[in-house]
Amino acid sequence: MFDQRENLELIEMFSQLRVADVRDGLDYLLLHHRFSLPYTIKPLFRTKAVGIAKTVRYLPYDGEIPKMTPQEYEKWCGYYYTNICPYHWISEIQKGDFIVIDQSGVDAGLMGSNNSLDGFSRGAVGYVTNGGPRDTDELIIQKIPFWSKFVSQKTVIGRLKFDAMNIPVNIEGVLIKPGDVIVADGDGVVVVPRELAYDVYSFAKKELDNDKVSRRKLYDLMGWEYDETVK
Ligand SMILES: O=C([O-])CC(=O)C(=O)O
Ligand SMILES: [Mg+2]
In the chain, what are the domains? 4-222 (3.50.30.40)
Contact, 207 vs 24, CB < 8 A?
Answer: yes
The pLDDT, as a whole number, for residue 22 is 98
| Per-residue confidence (pLDDT) for residue 1, from 0 to 100 | 75
Nearest to 62 by CA among 190, 208, 163, 197: 163
Task: Determine the Cα–Cα distance for residues 77 and 87; give it in Å rounded to an integer.
Answer: 14
**Which residues 6+ apart lie within 8 Å of 120 measured at CB?**
142, 144
- Ligand 1 binding pocket includes 155 (Cβ within 6 Å): yes
Beta carbons of 7 and 98 less than 8 angstroms apart: no
Per-residue exposure over 72-111, b if at least 16 CB sit within 10 Å of its own CB, e if not: eeeebeeebeeebbebebbeebeebbbbbbbbbebebbbb
Which atom of ligand 1 is the closest one to the Cα of 111? 4
Residue 86 CA, distance from chain mean position? 19
Ligand 1: which of 155, 157, 160 to mutate, most ligand atoms within 8 Å of CB? Answer: 155
Quote the pLDDT of residue 168. 98
Out of 85, 106, 115, give the residue to mutate to test ligand 1, the one with the largest number of ligand atoms within 8 Å of its CB. Answer: 115
Ligand 1 centroid distance, CA of 101 (Å): 15
pLDDT at 143 (0 to 100): 98
Q: What is the mean pLDDT of each run of 10 residues along the chain (231 residues)?
A: 94 98 98 98 98 98 96 98 98 98 98 98 98 98 98 98 98 98 98 98 98 98 97 93
Biggest CA pair distance of the chain:
72
Cα 113 to ligand 2 centroid, rounded to whole Å: 5
- How far apart are the CA of 8 and the centre of ligand 2, in A? 30
| Residue 81 alpha carbon, nearest atom of ligand 1 | 3
Q: Given this model, what pLDDT does residue 150 score?
A: 98
CA distances from residue 137 to 100, 110, 134 in whole angstroms, order as listed:
21, 16, 8
- Let me know: does 68 contact 111? Beta carbons within 8 Å: no
Residues in Cβ contact with 1 at an 8 Å cutoff, skipping those fewer than 6 apart: 166, 178, 179
What is the average pLDDT value for the chain, to the nearest integer?
Answer: 98
| ipTM for this model | 0.97
